[in-house]
Amino acid sequence: MTPETELREQICRIAKSLFDRGLTSGASGNISARLPDGGLLVTPTGVSLGMLDPGRLTRLDAGGRYVDGDKPTKELPLHAAFYETRQAKAGAVVHLHSTHSVALSMLPETDPDNVLPPLTPYSIMRLGKVKLLPFFRPGDAAMGEAIRGLAGKRSAVLLANHGPVVAAKDLEAAAFAMEELEETARLALLTRGMKPNMLTEAQIRQVVEHFNVEWD
């Protein structure tokens, strides 16, 4: 099995797992992953993540030009911006419409510079600070420009009234980080108004320094 065939199978397997566990629904959400030659495999537009066909994923070359497969997701500019600005750190990008993350994006008290409260060390380890971006029409190329405006300093963002986007070194890491984001958003909503004991600044710093987390 070639590396490309393996990656095609992995994309479909992880996508179905995310869909089956309710982290995205209908034909929402999209995934991309970088190939060894610098090209990309991208999930097609209008297709459920639970029903992907490995042979029909969109193939792009290293310059972002279409090679073959179905028409790519309309959110491709969003993915491309992460690959451009994070380069060696971004081997895959996952974008979902997960319920608790979207809900958190709509609350006026959510901190736009760091949407996730410091409830667990794992959200810090896997995500760093998650930036809240304003609302954009789905498919709007301005989303990519907003990502470029972060200059590669964030591995994850939350699009207001839309959903989270996570970039990581590979597809498995991106999926794990996405799950952590959604679970932490869920915890934040469950404990809202209850004054939970959050991690202290000293505890956060300990995690950041020990695991070499991007935290600026």
Name the CA radius of gyration of the chain, rounded. Answer: 17
Bridging pattern class, strands 92-95 and 30-34: antiparallel
Q: State which amino acid sits at residue 18.
A: L
145 is catalytic: no
Q: Backbone phi, then psi, for 69, in 5-degree steps?
A: 95, -175
122 is catalytic: yes
Bridging pattern class, strands 131-133 and 156-159: parallel
Residue 27, C-beta contacts closer than 8 angstroms, at least 6 positions apart:
46, 47, 48
Q: How far apart are CA 205 and CA 160, in angstroms?
A: 28
The active-site residue out of 9, 122, 172, 214 is 122
Tokens 């304003």 found at: 134
Which residues, listed in sequence order, are joined to residue 21 by a DSSP beta bridge? none
The active-site residue out of 66, 75, 83, 183 is 75
Strands (E), the chain: 30-34, 40-42, 58-60, 66-68, 92-95, 131-133, 156-159, 163-168
> Annotated catalytic sites, by residue?
75, 122
